C-alpha cells in the first residue's frame, strides 16, 4: 500500500512519521471509507478492543521526540509518540518533572495519556491531564491539521480546543503534539507507608483531614490488602508521598505518625503501584447525547476515527 514517502505499513499497521503524512492517511481513509483505530505504542489494548474490528490500526509510535523545552518557563512541547520515560529523563536533568504520572507504566506515550485523560495517584496535588495541557496540535477526521492553545502558559486564543481533545480518545482528532506545564522537583521528596486501620471510619476521617492540609501530600492512597501484599508492604495500607522543604516534610511525617507506624520506602514504590493500576475504568457511550454527537460530526463527519470507542454517531 503506497501512502506517500515515509509512511510505512507493517502487518496492516499504519505508522506515519510526520503530521503531513498522518493528514494524508486520514484523507485517503475518508476516500476509501476506511476507519482507523488510533493507538500510541499499543500498551493498553482496552481501547483498541472497543474499536471496530474493521478499523485499520494507526500507530503514533514513530511520531516522537521533544520539539521545544524551556526550563525557565517550566513548559515542554513534544510529539504524541514520545514516551513518558523520555520526558522524565529530559526534565529531571533540569531539576523538573512531568506531573502526569498516570496509571500504568512510563513506557506509554504522551499522546495516549492526554487522549485518554489517564490520571494517577498524584492527580489531586499535581493536576489532571486537562489541567497540565496548554496546547495541542491534531489532525481531525477530514485530514485537516489544527492547533489549539499554545506553547506558553499565558495563552488565550478562542475556543478551548486543547481541553476538548484531552479525553476524547482519538474520536475527534489524532493528537500529534502536546505542550504542557512542568513542575520543579521538591527539595525533599519522601515516600512513606503507614501501618494503620484503613477500615476504621475514624481513621479514614483523620486520613482525609491530612489530605486536605495544611500539609497537603503529593499523594495519599489507602490500598487494598491484596495490593499491599504484592507490593511487599505487609500490614501497611496507607501509601503517602510528601514533598517540599525539610521542615514541611518533617512536620508531615510527624503528623502521619499520629495515624500509625511510619516507614520510609524507595520512591520506586510508586512506579510499582501505578503499574498495578488498582482502579477499574469504564467506558461510556459519550456520543449518545445530541450535543456530543454534533461535536463528533463536526470534527469527524465520516466517523472514521476510533469508531465504537465512545459510541457510534447516528444521524
Task: Encode pLDDT of 126-145 as tens digits.
Answer: 999 999 999 999 999 999 99
| Mean pLDDT estimate for the chain | 90
Q: What is the mean pLDDT of residues 63-77?
A: 97
pTM for this one?
0.90
What is the C-alpha separation between 261 and 170, in angstroms, rounded? 45
Fold (CATH) for 66-184: 3.30.465
Residue 49: what pLDDT? 66
Which has the closest alpha carbon to 55: 171, 180, 202? 171
Residue 152: what pLDDT? 62
> For residue 47, is pLDDT > 90?
no
What is the C-alpha separation between 287 and 171, in angstroms, rounded? 10
Task: Encode pLDDT of 262-276 as tens digits.
Answer: 999 999 999 999 998
DSSP string, 63-78: S-SEEEEEGGGTEEEE
Rama region for 288: left / alpha / beta (φ>0; ψ in -120 to 50; rest): alpha
List CB contacts of 216: < 8 A, sequence separation 6 or more. 125
Element (H, E) at 207: helix 201-212
Cβ count within 10 A of residue 110: 30
What is the C-alpha separation between 227 and 270, in angstroms, rounded? 12
Which has the closest alpha carbon to 111: 158, 155, 47, 53? 47
Task: Encode pLDDT of 195-247 as tens digits.
Answer: 999 999 999 999 999 999 899 999 999 998 888 999 999 888 999 999 999 99
> For residue 7, is pLDDT > 50?
no
Which has the closest alpha carbon to 283: 50, 107, 67, 15? 50
Whether residue 76 contacts residue 69, with contact meaning beta carbons closer than 8 Å, is answered with yes
Which has the closest alpha carbon to 98: 116, 77, 67, 79? 77
Please, what is the Cα angle at 163 between 24 and 243, to 5 degrees? 120
Please tell me which residue, 157 or 193, carries the higher pLDDT value: 193
Whether residue 59 contacts residue 15, with contact meaning beta carbons closer than 8 Å, is answered with yes
Place of cell 496540535: 137
Domain extents for the chain? 66-184, 188-276
> For residue 315, is pLDDT > 60?
no
Q: What is the mean pLDDT of residues 281-304?
A: 89
Residue 314: what pLDDT? 53
Residue 165: what pLDDT? 96
> For residue 67, is pLDDT > 80?
yes
Burial class (CB in 10 A: 0-12, 13-18, 19+), 160: middle
What is the C-alpha separation between 80 and 176, in angstroms, rounded? 5
Q: What superfamily would CATH give domain 188-276?
A: D-lactate dehydrogenase, cap domain, subdomain 1 (3.30.70.610)
Please, what is the Cα angle at 82 between 78 and 86, to 5 degrees? 95
Residue 4: what pLDDT? 46
Q: Helix (H, G, I), strand (E, B), or coil: what is residue 20? A: helix
Q: What is the mean pLDDT of residues 137-155?
A: 85
Amino acid at each position: 500500500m503506497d501512502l506517500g514517502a515515509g509512511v510505512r505499513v507493517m502487518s496492516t499497521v499504519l505508522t506515519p512519521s510526520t503530521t503531513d503524512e498522518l493528514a494524508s492517511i486520514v484523507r485517503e481513509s475518508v476516500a476509501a471509507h476506511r476507519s482507523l483505530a488510533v493507538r500510541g505504542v499499543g500498551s493498553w489494548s482496552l481501547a483498541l478492543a472497543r474499536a471496530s474490528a474493521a478499523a485499520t490500526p494507526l500507530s503514533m509510535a514513530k511520531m516522537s521526540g521533544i520539539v521545544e523545552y524551556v526550563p525557565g518557563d517550566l513548559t515542554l512541547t513534544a510529539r504524541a509518540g514520545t514516551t513518558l520515560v523520555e520526558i522524565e529523563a529530559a526534565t529531571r536533568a533540569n531539576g523538573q518533572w512531568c506531573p502526569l504520572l498516570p496509571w500504568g507504566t512510563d513506557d506509554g506515550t504522551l499522546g495516549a495519556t492526554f487522549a485518554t485523560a489517564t490520571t494517577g495517584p498524584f492527580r489531586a496535588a499535581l493536576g489532571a491531564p486537562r489541567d497540565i495541557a496548554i496546547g495541542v496540535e491534531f489532525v481531525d477526521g477530514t485530514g485537516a491539521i489544527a492547533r489549539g492553545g499554545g506553547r506558553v502558559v499565558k495563552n488565550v486564543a478562542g475556543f478551548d480546543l486543547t481541553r476538548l481533545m484531552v479525553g476524547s480518545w482519538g474520536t475527534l482528532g489524532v493528537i500529534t503534539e502536546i505542550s504542557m506545564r512542568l513542575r520543579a522537583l521538591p527539595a525533599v521528596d519522601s515516600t512513606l507507608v503507614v501501618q494503620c486501620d484503613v477500615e476504621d471510619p475514624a481513621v479514614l476521617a483523620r486520613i482525609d483531614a491530612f489530605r486536605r492540609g495544611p500539609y497537603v501530600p503529593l499523594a495519599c492512597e489507602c490500598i487494598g490488602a491484596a495490593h499491599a501484599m504484592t507490593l511487599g508492604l505487609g500490614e501497611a495500607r496507607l501509601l503517602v508521598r510528601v514533598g517540599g522543604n525539610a521542615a514541611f516534610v518533617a512536620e508531615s511525617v510527624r503528623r502521619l505518625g499520629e495515624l500509625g507506624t511510619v516507614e520510609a520506602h524507595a520512591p520506586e514504590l510508586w512506579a510499582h503501584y501505578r503499574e498495578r493500576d488498582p482502579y477499574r475504568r469504564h467506558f461510556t457511550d459519550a456520543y449518545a447525547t445530541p450535543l456530543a454527537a454534533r461535536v463528533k460530526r463536526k470534527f469527524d463527519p465520516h466517523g472514521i476515527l476510533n469508531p465504537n470507542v465512545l459510541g457510534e454517531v447516528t444521524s
